[in-house]
Amino acid sequence: MFVQKEKADLGKIDFKEKAAALESFIKKNIPLANFMNFSIKELTQHSIKLAAPLKPNDNHYGTGFGGSITILGMLGGWSLLHFRMKEENIEAALVIRKGKIKFLKPVRSEFEAVNNSLPEEVWNEFRGELAKRGKSELKIQSHIYSNGELSALYEGVYVAISKEK
C-alpha cells in the first residue's frame, strides 16, 4: 500500500484530532477502506482500535465478509505503524509484506480490529533498525472482535523502507 505524502502535521494536535486526521488520510488514499465505512475509535502511541459496520462489509449469509475482516486487521497494523512514523517525522515507505488470518467465529455485527502490538521497546527496535539499515520489518497482530467476542486473529509483517537510502 503506497500512499501519498501526508500533509497533516500530526505533532501539534491531540489524539482525538490525530485519529480523525489519520482516518481521513486513509480514506482518501486507500479507496477500499473508505468504502468499508471504517472509523478509528481509539488511538495511542502503542495501540489502535478501528471499527467497521456489518453493512457494507457482509456477505450473502449476512455475516462479515472475510475480505473486509482481513482488511480491517491489516489496517490495524499499518495505521498504527504509519501513525508512529509520522509522529516522529520518519520518511519511509510502509508496506505489507505478508499477512495471514485465522477466523474463529462468524462476525454478525459491527466488528473492531484492536492492535496493541507496539510497546515502546518493540517500536524502538523497529525504528533503530530502520535508521541503521534503511529498512526494517515487524510482525504485529490485530485481534478482531464482534459482539465482544474474539472472531479472528490477523498477523501481518510490515516493512518500512527509508526514502533517504
Instruction: Report the distance separating Cα 139 and Cα 152, nearest Å.
Output: 17
pLDDT of residue 160: 98
Domains of the chain, with CATH numbers?
Answer: 13-162 (3.10.129.10)
Residues 6+ apart with CB under 8 A from 19: 40, 41, 42, 43
pLDDT of residue 6: 42
pLDDT of residue 9: 46
Q: What is the pLDDT of the chain when averaged over all its residues?
A: 91
Three cell numbers written together for 112: 473492531
| pTM (global) more than 0.95 | no
Ramachandran category for residue 134: left, alpha or beta (phi over 0 → left; psi -120 to 50 → alpha): left
Per residue in 45-58, pLDDT (tens digit) is 999 999 999 999 99
What strands, in cross-sheet order, belong to the sheet with 48-52?
A: 39-43, 48-52, 111-115, 135-146, 149-162, 92-103
Please report which confidence band the pLDDT of residue 11 belongs to, taking 50, 70 and 90 as the band edges: very low
Dihedral over Cα of 50, 51, 55, 57: its sign: positive
Residue bearing cell 520489518 = 137
Instruction: Report the distance separating Cα 54 and Cα 122, nearest Å.
Output: 33
Class of residue 78 by CB neighbours under 10 A (exposed 0-12, middle 13-18, buried 19+): buried
Backbone angles phi, psi at 36, to 5 degrees: -70, -15
